[in-house]
Chains A and B, each alone.
Chain A
Amino acid sequence: MSKRLGLQTIVFQQAPRIASCSTIAGPKEGEGNFGSYIDKLVDDPMMGQLTPEKAERMMLYLACQDALAKAALTEDDVHFFVGGDLLNQIISSSYCARDLGIPFLGIYGACSSIVEGLGLGSLIVDGDYADSVLVATSSHYQASERQFRYPVELNIQHRKSNQWTVTGAAAAVLSKSGTGPKITAATFGRVLDYGIKSPNDMGAAMAPAAADTLCRHFADTGKTPGDYDLILTGDLAAVGQKLFVQLVKEAGYTLGSKHMDVGASMYKPTQQVGAGGSGCACSAIGILGYVVKEMLQGNLRRVLAMATGALFSPVSTQQGDSIAGIAHAVVIEA
């Protein structure tokens, strides 16, 4: 059997297991809809650190350590650390890798990083290049806000399409053996640009990529929405998910209640966050918190987990470039 299926999908023959995972998040996420699925909630989003950047990398490090401890592994047992985040030059992941001392492959897929990481980690394990791979990602509201937008205390009236960056981190250990859920396939996405220029509208910029990857996945594998218990998207949020469902419907697939967007569901309506959550930690908490826990409890059997990323920088938007989107998908089975 070929490892490749169709144009963009890879089927793993020795499907790697999610041997363990760990999630950590701040108080706002704790009060949200996924609060009970997050392993460790901290009261102080600054983690007692002087800067949000330091706080973010501390969260990432704690999530990694916790995931390793749950899998009963030490740093030396893990052959690769695949990590990415939103900050310039992916500093959170790099400094975390420095402290872990595991050979590091840094990735950048904006908010799609977790699925890009899970897909790449699975390739490494399936290819027999490692027994265990650590995959982790993080984001922080304050650190993202100052890099992509404005000072936190500035007099800004947020729009209804604005998204709130999730403060948190998530890590997973992928192993050849073990008992956790399996990653059986991955569909790596193309970069799509439909000319959206507003950084206040990231969901709209990412929705075409998400629809494209999903339709490619269905075409490659011959599966339909009915084959999955849940089709998860990362952080399209309220506006983006509406567009995504519309685009997928035009392509001939009706998702209905099978679809859930983590960004749109992250916060409660009373928390006043515009269209919903975003950030690397948003999709990561959805997949490694919600999906994996529901699978271990037997409530979900087969899930298509997607994460989307808006590929832009403040420099590119200020120079008038449009925002490109990307989406990757992995199939997780109990």
Chain B
Amino acid sequence: MDKAQKDRRERYQQMVREATPQPNRWRNAVMAFITGGAICTVGQLLYNLFEKVEPSRLETTAVTQAAMIALGAIATGLGFYDWLAERGGMGAAVPVTGFSNTVASAAMEFRREGYILGMGAKMFVIAGPVLVYGIISGFAVSLLRAVLTGSLF
């Protein structure tokens, strides 16, 4: 690429930056806070409910997680979750319901190519990287902790 061509490209990309409307970051942040907060409040309410039946903290946490994952998947199936995410942005994407949505939406989408090569193979097409890097970083942090404290638990 010669210099004139490069200059033209750079000048055009500057034009594009000026022409592209910027997202309303304040509005998005407030909406994300409300949406994420609302989802977490539902989680907390469920936790308080489950705590009455199962006093063990570890068990209650696990059951609450499972319930939220189920809720996320159901909301996805009903076509509600993408509507929520369009408004709530990261507030809908970050909680575990958002993770559930990535799996459920991919499962719904690729079911048409069959249960094995479609749904089975592509269910984690979006969630896969979250799992891979979640496990790797979890392992790294645990290793660091073990080295620093001299204890595995």
Contacts and interface: CB of A to CB of B under 8 A. Distances in A.
Interface of A: 50-51, 146, 150-161, 194-196, 201, 204, 208, 238-239, 242-243, 246, 272
Contacts of A243: 12, 15-16, 19
Interface residues of B, number: 36
Q: Which of B82, B85, B87, B108 has the most CB of A within 10 A?
A: B82
Contacts of A152: 82, 105, 109
Q: Which of B13, B89, B109, B112 has the most CB of A within 10 A?
A: B109
Contact of A153 (B9, B13, B22, B105): B105
A196 B13 contact: yes
Contacts of A159: 23
A242 B109 contact: no
Contact of A194 (B8, B82, B88, B89): B8
User: Secondary structure of the B side of the interface?
Assistant: helix
A150 B88 CA distance: 18
A156 B23 CA distance: 14
The 4 closest A-B pairs by CB, nearest first: A155-B85, A151-B109, A153-B105, A151-B105
A156 B82 CA distance: 7
Contacts of A156: 82, 85-86
Interface stretch (B49-57, B96-104, B140-148): B96-104
Contacts of B23: 159-160
Nearest to B86: A157
Given A160-B21, A194-B8, A154 B15 contact: no
Interface of B: 8-9, 12-13, 15-16, 19-23, 28, 76, 79, 81-82, 84-90, 92-93, 98, 101-102, 104-106, 108-110, 112, 126
B98 to A, nearest CB: 5
Contacts of A201: 16, 20
15 contacts: A51-B112, A151-B109, A153-B108, A155-B84, A156-B86, A157-B87, A158-B86, A195-B9, A201-B16, A201-B20, A204-B19, A239-B16, A239-B20, A239-B21, A243-B16
B126 A154 contact: yes
A157 B85 contact: yes
Contacts of B98: 155
Nearest to B93: A155
A208 B21 CA distance: 19
